[in-house]
Amino acid sequence: MPRPILYSFRRCPYAMRARLAIQSAGVECELREIVLRDKAPELLSASPKGTVPVIIDGDQVIEESFDVMHWALAQNDPEGWLMHTAPDLIAECDGPFKSALDRYKYASRYDDIDASDERAKASTFLQKLNTQLDGKPYLFGGDPSFADMATVTFVRQFAHVDLEWFNAQPWPYLIAWLEAFKASDRFKATMQKYPKWESGDDITMFPAQG
């Protein structure tokens, strides 16, 4: 059977969390790295909206990162991530928090936006995560979960808008959680650099072999 095809972009937090789940599940995919300003026609043919990640598994096209995570872990969940999917928490991350994050990071793209106001809005969610992490290395205890990996890539994006400000805030458990993630072999493996994919290129496997 042909392997699933994964269209991805290294720095996109949606694509990052999809890769984290695929890596945890150990589902072998053919990776096609996309450049967002010059999207492969094969991607647009499979998914006209042109966002990543996209999984093509036979006749099935999966276009949302949340669904890609579930697709991978439904096949194999060796770390038990699906025990804690926390749909309400992830909905808040993907909804109000991500909206405020975009307006904080890219304030110049929006009319009548105050970046500091948007940062304050986003911080409400981060304080909630900090409270959830109190005394624990992960959101639901001693082991990583779906909820951790579905949110941490967006927290990372927020933090790196102004890392000095982020690290000065009163959320020590959140900071420790993010720093541990960034230092992990898991993160390093999912952030390996790949050249832009073009039709006819040699196949690149993800997770990386060997």
Helices (H), 106-171: 115-133, 146-159, 163-167
What's the confidence (pLDDT) of residue 210? Answer: 59
What's the confidence (pLDDT) of residue 209? Answer: 74
What's the confidence (pLDDT) of residue 135? Answer: 92
Outline which parts of the chain fall under CATH 1.20.1050.10: 82-187
Question: What class does CATH assign to 5-80+192-206?
Answer: alpha beta
What's the confidence (pLDDT) of residue 99? Answer: 97
82-187: CATH topology: Glutathione S-transferase Yfyf (Class Pi); Chain A, domain 2 (1.20.1050)
What's the confidence (pLDDT) of residue 120? Answer: 98
What's the confidence (pLDDT) of residue 43? Answer: 97
Q: Which residues of the chain have pLDDT under 50?
A: none
Distance of alpha carbon 173 from alpha carbon 127, whole angstroms: 10
